[in-house]
Amino acid sequence: MNDVQIAQEASLQHIDMIGAGIGLGEQDLIHFGPYKAKISYEAVQRILSQPKRAKLVLVSAITPTAAGEGKTTTSIGLTQGLSKIGKKSIVALREPSLGPVFGVKGGATGGGYSQVLPMEDINLHFTGDLHAVTAAHNLIAAAVDNSIHFLTKKTVSVRNVLWKRVMDMNDRSLRDIVIGLGPKNLPRESGFDITAASEVMAILCLSMNYHDLKEKIANILLGFTEDKDPVTVGDLGIQGAVAALLKEALLPNLVQTLEGGPALIHGGPFANIAQGANSVLATNLGLRLADFCITEAGFGFDLGAEKFFDIVSPYGGFFPDCVVLVATVRALKLHGGVSKKVLNVPNAQAVARGIENLEKHLENISRFGVKAVVALNRFPGDTDDEIRIVSALCEKRGVEFALSSHWQDGGEGAKDLAEKVAALCNGSSSPAPKTLYDWKASPEEKISTVARQIYGAEAVDYTGEARADLKLIKSLGYEGLPVCIAKTQSSLSDNPKLLGRPKDFLVTVRRIIISAGAGFLVPLTGDIMRMPGLPRVPAAEQIDIDDSGNITGLF
DSSP letter for each residue of 212-281: HHHHHHHT-EEEE-TT--EEEHHHHT-HHHHHHHTTTTTSPEEEEETTS-EEEE-----TTTS--B--HH
Question: What CA dihedral angle connects 543, 547, 549 and 551, to 10 degrees?
Answer: -20
Gap between the Cα atoms of 407 and 85, Å rounded: 18
Burial of residue 442, with CB atoms counted within 10 A of its CB: 0-12 exposed, 13-18 middle, 19 or more buried: middle
Can you tell me the distance from the alpha carbon of 356 to that of 379, in angstroms, rounded to the nearest whole number? 20
Known catalytic residues? 71, 73, 94, 105, 271, 299, 379, 407
Residues 195, 309, 301, CA angle at the centre, nearest 5°?
75
Rounded Cα–Cα distance for residues 348 and 386 (Å): 5
- Strands annotated E in 153-194: 165-167, 177-179, 188-190, 192-194
Nearest-angstrom CA–CA distance, 299 and 514 = 23
Say if CB 190 and CB 216 are below 8 A apart.
Answer: no
Please list the helix, strand and coil fractions of the chain in percent, rounded to the nearest 5, in that order. 40, 20, 40
Confirm if 218 and 233 have CB atoms less than 8 A apart. yes
Residue 77 contacts residue 411 (beta carbons within 8 Å): yes
